[in-house]
Structure 1
């Protein structure tokens, strides 16, 4: 079983944190007064710095330290989050990614120049990536105790009542404090209610910690950075003079008891702690915490005063009962392997169902039905594991839009809708490049320059909208803009010049707009760094069709253009319609099937030479798959026509028999058959035979060619 090495784990986590940082910076440009965005950026920087140092990425930690310092000034309100600062922050994020993913290339990049720009914006002396600045000693730092260079601090904290419900683990906070030096921890239970009044999700404990460390006070504050707004926290220095103090002095200094109570207890000539607890002046936990502090200070670094020996400490610390995380990171290849196994299970289940259907044993039939139900549930669950929100893809384009807007001198607003829509991870990975090209095209060709928008009475800022939603077994992803729209006359003129359509051809908008996906087609008047060479849109169409998807275009002059991608939920398992042509069996994606109609021998004879069906008044071209596949066996007396649709067009496929629904596990064809356009893949049937999966897009295209020839002849 393969495991990720620590460096790989850090790279994965850092990638997520850098994406979080980028999103926060881009949002901050539009909402500079949003404290949550500032804190989000700061937390991402802080975590990258800490994790980088932990995993040995010292260059990352050193560089990030300076960026974090700058955003700490923003967080404290000393520096405004200007556009210049955000631009440098984005450049710093890019350099951090380079330091993590390609350190050799990062050496040639000028990280010092980024930090110099950062220092000029926030003020202060120039920084260097060679080493992080040494944190200044706080004003209230005590005289160091033994050994030289360390300080002792008293830390008292109580988390918000709902802290654990919100995901905070106090044991991890205690572990972080222990990681700073030698710590003595005591849990205080005086706030714990009676059992019948206790809520399991609420935090009722408080903790007293005495910490001896060489780190500054800021390091302690950083431990509580994510929860500090909703908790009670005090951090007090304990000087060397505390070493010989008695328990009463410590209790008074901590504020746990008044001096008069201590004086009264001393006058009673009884053990001070016992008397104070007996009189109710302090709780047993408070006394235990004071005794632990006394012992910690006396022993210099707390030797001999281990947490497990202290009263009131649960299980000696954080290693006792920490619960596992509610999510885990799984390598993608394991999910692919799991999906393959589920696919094989579906095939075996199909074979079992066939055996059960031919058996008279009621028990076998019942078991087959139960196995079928479980296999379907396992398939759906596994497909759910493979799906990820499309928002993870949409988020990548915000930086693209930001940079292109600056490059072209346009103001552009990116709006995303339906980010929670889930899609197969493989589809999302292969969708990235096509969407990048479509967005670049919309920005370059679709959106007007500011003066053009002003002349058209539009807002100065153009809008690009990304939308995703489920539609049955498909996901609809649309890219729309509020720009000038497609120029119908120019598209037709260029299409005629390139011989794509005959001169003066009457084409609908849908037919005409599809021509922009032809290889080499471009209406750009000049070639730019973004577009104009006539390459790209045909690649986009091939990529989408490779995902078994399709593209629709709608455009209104002066109002904008919308491109809609129709994509399958998954590429691994689909519901199919199994048909027979001669002795061969074939599968059609069920999502493309509209209906099945009977084609009698008489209708078949009448339609020869025309190949059209009258479906409720609409003429639908059809293909005789027997002729296409060159089947020599005689046809069935009553053939069936399966009406399928793709891209708004319909075509009929004439088959000998419609067998029924079938769980289709898609297997790719070999490289030898990669150029066979009629088939999209193959599947294994329940009896072990192989059935080819028909490529609906190419069959519809073939049917349209028949229709065009018929129209031309008439």
Structure 2
């Protein structure tokens, strides 16, 4: 619809909304603080503003749309302000429709645009525009007017500033925070739309949804001052609008550019949120999208993109895209108020909650001791009472049985009282009566102590419940769903498919599972290794899959499930599996197995986890340099987890990661094994059989547990811990625990069952080595430190015997090292991130002088140098290296923005091995690096 028609509709809607808006604005100013009338007035005003904003969005009036967003935010903030401030805002609210009307009547009027933009700058607003934001909005308002008159000419030359991800320093922090909160979701949805274009049943709806998302991202990024996102989404929006209007499905070439742009946009957002480095190919991607937009402007898009996208893509969007109605708008974020809190504050709360748990356990232990003392006092009170009764009986018997009744002075026998007529008391009677009263007082105090201890126990139980609630709340603050990394995992597969020319589809199950954010981010790199390995090593080429009777598109599955106190991640594919013959041959060459021919399949597969082990004869960059699995294994071990693998030749491979979840406390069973008190998480236990309900059977294969319902291996827990197993006293049968060990159940003998309690797992830290099968230590209520066991990690040892003398060096020492020399910090970061992801170690130098010092300290395997640098440029650095015998053959790649022939000739004369220009192409750079690396590097 032409913009003039949209403006006419807006004017009509604004005229109809004038009276309701005025009434709502006046009601906001007059309503009492916190009243229902205030909330109703704000809701009515927000609804009218939303209608006008939606119409502005449909007409491409981005400036008016941004102003509508800010007015709506201010209306919501007025809910919590006082009546005085709302009254001060009434004049501004009533002026807003008039300013919008003036702008719509004369959209090309500079004064109308300026007055509308400046209206939201007044300090009476709860959230006014800053001067910088007002300037940006003014540009958007005037740009929309220019666009309505004629199509503005696109830039023909772009530079690094056009892909800058540095937000404007003058943007309001809340505006930037709002953009960073919502941008990852928007970018992920845009990527889903783009990757679903080839299979979308309703192409127009999918294109319109992609256009709306790109439009929203463009506006938000423009206000935040992020030029890179603004420029890329601007051209993408135009392309989507053109395709939707023409009803044309993008061809193969355009589709490839759009998919690469979607991945680049997600990488940009990741860099803005601190989850990664800026994409190294951002300038090349923007240039590609710009070229398509220019062809569209010239009416030549069909000529360049004539090939229809009928062939299957090199990668596929998730299948749920086909089921999701593409025409539906994105669901708005839930209207829940949030507060940005530093991660360090959440971590501190996490630690304090753990310390509170330890203090609570010590208080509970102290109270239990007092209760035991009180019960002992009560028992002693009964003993004293019994002795007192016996004493009184003896005194009474002594009085009655005394020989005769002695008369007092001057008394005759007739005057004396018989013992039965009057009690006679002496000092012994007085002492016994006083003792009886003291015992009664003691009993009353003892009962009072019992009551106070009971009240204290109730308070402690209440405090424990509150602590559990606090613990759950703190943990919830650290939890995010797996969906937070879903887009990055999908991007790993798409990039690997593009690099290898293969076709694969990634299915992720359990994306709603909440996990600790720190654990989730630590899993991104190892999961990326597994996914790239699945594409590069597992999934076959399309022709090979068809010949094997498989679908042309490979399938990779990734599932997340919770198993007690652990999370289990399974990554599987339907590729070629492992080549056991090649593994056996390589193991024999390295001498890793005592008898390689006799090793079973499981033993051979676990060899792939050894540092530096690879069956590849040629180096590839997609999944590293043949050591991706040992890097994954090291990362999983660093998280106190385990990694198991299984493959069937021709049917695919499966990798299972089992990791402990981050918990403040865990319920555990305390037992004694080998003279040591240890804690076993209750989630690892299946059952504790009653004595006499099972039999201990000795067999040639070892001890066995036998019961009517179960037969399984039996072993002493002390032996698994490497401690001596003391004999059972008097030939008694020691207690047994039935535990989940992987997918099986095993019986474990212990010396004593102590009890169950909640414990806080304290990790050992970097100063102590990781102990296999030990999650950490727990401080018990009596101050005892007990190790917390991971039974699966403790009892599932490597199934093969690796000879210690032949163990290869750690992965960090087998990686080729590249020295990046560039005076640009952003280029060093981008190159470093890119090369590290490709499987290389990277060092940095800012100029030629630093590079010479770095080479003298440790000679790298290859240098990537810039041409123009301070102190010593790239040509001088290369000449210096060629002049020394030790570095004369060191490969040097020059990466520069200079592309003229004379620069290439000077580099060749200086001894540069390869000359590449910025912005670099990933595949070209990696191919050059692999070609120039010394042939002695391990494959």
Tell me whether the two structures share a fold, i.e. TM-score over 0.5.
yes
Q: Does 1:22 align with 2:198?
A: no
Q: Does 1:685 align with 2:780?
A: yes
Q: Does 1:325 align with 2:325?
A: no
SS in 1 for 2:230: helix
SS in 1 for 2:249: coil
Alignment partner of 1:624 out of 707, 712, 718: 718
Aligned 8 A contact 2:533 2:628 in 1: no
Q: Does 1:462 align with 2:636?
A: no
Separation in structure 2 between the aligned mates of residue 680 and residue 402 of structure 1, nearest angstrom: 36
Change in CA separation of 1:364 and 1:679 when aligned onto 2, cut-off 3 Å: same
Separation in structure 2 between the aligned mates of residue 353 and residue 384 of structure 1, nearest angstrom: 26
**Which residue number corresponds to residue 670 of structure 2?**
578
Change in CA separation of 1:677 and 1:481 when aligned onto 2, cut-off 3 Å: closer
- Larger CA Rg, structure 1 vs 2: 2
Q: CA deviation at 1:447?
A: 1.4
Q: CA deviation at 1:482?
A: 1.4
Alignment partner of 2:579 out of 473, 483, 487: 487
Change in CA separation of 1:36 and 1:513 when aligned onto 2, cut-off 3 Å: farther
**Which residue number corresponds to residue 590 of structure 1?**
682
Q: Does 1:431 align with 2:523?
A: yes
Separation in structure 2 between the aligned mates of residue 705 and residue 532 of structure 1, nearest angstrom: 26
Separation in structure 2 between the aligned mates of residue 702 and residue 471 of structure 1, nearest angstrom: 20
Aligned 8 A contact 1:578 1:662 in 2: yes
**Which residue number corresponds to residue 502 of structure 1?**
594
**Which residue number corresponds to residue 358 of structure 2?**
347
Separation in structure 1 between the aligned mates of residue 738 and residue 182 of structure 2, nearest angstrom: 49
**Which residue number corresponds to residue 291 of structure 2?**
117
Separation in structure 1 between the aligned mates of residue 484 and residue 658 of structure 2, nearest angstrom: 19
Give the number of equivalent residue pairs: 510
Q: Does 1:657 align with 2:749?
A: no
**Which residue number corresponds to residue 615 of structure 1?**
705
SS in 1 for 2:197: helix
SS in 2 for 1:109: helix
SS in 2 for 1:561: strand
Q: CA deviation at 1:650?
A: 7.1
User: How big is the alpha-carbon RMSD for the aligned residues of Structure 1 and Structure 2?
Assistant: 4.4
**Which residue number corresponds to residue 440 of structure 2?**
none
Q: CA deviation at 1:673?
A: 1.3
- Normalization by structure 1: what TM-score? 0.61
Separation in structure 2 between the aligned mates of residue 545 and residue 646 of structure 1, nearest angstrom: 17
Q: CA deviation at 1:457?
A: 1.4
1:38-117 matched pairs, under 5 angstroms: 38-58=207-227, 60-77=229-246, 79-93=248-262, 101=271, 109-110=283-284, 113-117=287-291
1:480-559 matched pairs, under 5 angstroms: 480-503=572-595, 506=598, 509-531=601-623, 533-559=625-651
Change in CA separation of 1:627 and 1:681 when aligned onto 2, cut-off 3 Å: closer
SS in 1 for 2:196: helix
Separation in structure 2 between the aligned mates of residue 430 and residue 373 of structure 1, nearest angstrom: 32
1:364-404 Cα distance to aligned partner (Å, 9 max, x none) = 23233333333334434443443322233233222222222
Separation in structure 1 between the aligned mates of residue 758 and residue 512 of structure 2, nearest angstrom: 27
**Which residue number corresponds to residue 478 of structure 2?**
386
- In structure 1, stretches of 5+ residues that fail to align are 128-224, 230-322, 709-714
Q: CA deviation at 1:338?
A: 3.1
Separation in structure 1 between the aligned mates of residue 497 and residue 720 of structure 2, nearest angstrom: 55
> Which moves more between the two structures, 441-450 or 99-108?
99-108
**Which residue number corresponds to residue 320 of structure 1?**
none
Aligned 8 A contact 1:623 1:651 in 2: no
Change in CA separation of 1:472 and 1:624 when aligned onto 2, cut-off 3 Å: closer
1:318-376 Cα distance to aligned partner (Å, 9 max, x none) = xxxxx963556554444333332332332233233323434253222323333333333
Q: CA deviation at 1:439?
A: 1.2
- Normalization by structure 2: what TM-score? 0.48
Q: CA deviation at 1:504?
A: 5.6
**Which residue number corresponds to residue 200 of structure 2?**
31
Separation in structure 2 between the aligned mates of residue 507 and residue 640 of structure 1, nearest angstrom: 37
Separation in structure 1 between the aligned mates of residue 253 and residue 492 of structure 2, nearest angstrom: 18
- In structure 2, stretches of 5+ residues that fail to align are 1-171, 302-326, 372-449, 804-939
Aligned 8 A contact 2:235 2:290 in 1: no
**Which residue number corresponds to residue 540 of structure 2?**
448
Change in CA separation of 1:612 and 1:355 when aligned onto 2, cut-off 3 Å: farther
**Which residue number corresponds to residue 280 of structure 1?**
none
Q: CA deviation at 1:456?
A: 1.0
**Which residue number corresponds to residue 447 of structure 2?**
none
Separation in structure 2 between the aligned mates of residue 124 and residue 13 of structure 1, nearest angstrom: 35
Q: CA deviation at 1:422?
A: 2.6
**Which residue number corresponds to residue 152 of structure 1?**
none
Alignment partner of 2:761 out of 641, 660, 666: 666
Aligned 8 A contact 2:716 2:748 in 1: yes
Separation in structure 1 between the aligned mates of residue 355 and residue 365 of structure 2, nearest angstrom: 16
Change in CA separation of 1:354 and 1:402 when aligned onto 2, cut-off 3 Å: same
1:160-239 matched pairs, under 5 angstroms: none
Change in CA separation of 1:381 and 1:108 when aligned onto 2, cut-off 3 Å: closer
Change in CA separation of 1:440 and 1:334 when aligned onto 2, cut-off 3 Å: same
Alignment partner of 1:700 out of 783, 795, 810: 795
Change in CA separation of 1:35 and 1:507 when aligned onto 2, cut-off 3 Å: farther
Separation in structure 1 between the aligned mates of residue 617 and residue 193 of structure 2, nearest angstrom: 38
Separation in structure 1 between the aligned mates of residue 798 and residue 286 of structure 2, nearest angstrom: 62
Q: CA deviation at 1:615?
A: 1.9
Separation in structure 1 between the aligned mates of residue 702 and residue 798 of structure 2, nearest angstrom: 10
Aligned 8 A contact 1:67 1:118 in 2: no
1:194-238 Cα distance to aligned partner (Å, 9 max, x none) = xxxxxxxxxxxxxxxxxxxxxxxxxxxxxxx99899xxxxxxxxx
Q: CA deviation at 1:34?
A: 4.1
Change in CA separation of 1:415 and 1:105 when aligned onto 2, cut-off 3 Å: closer
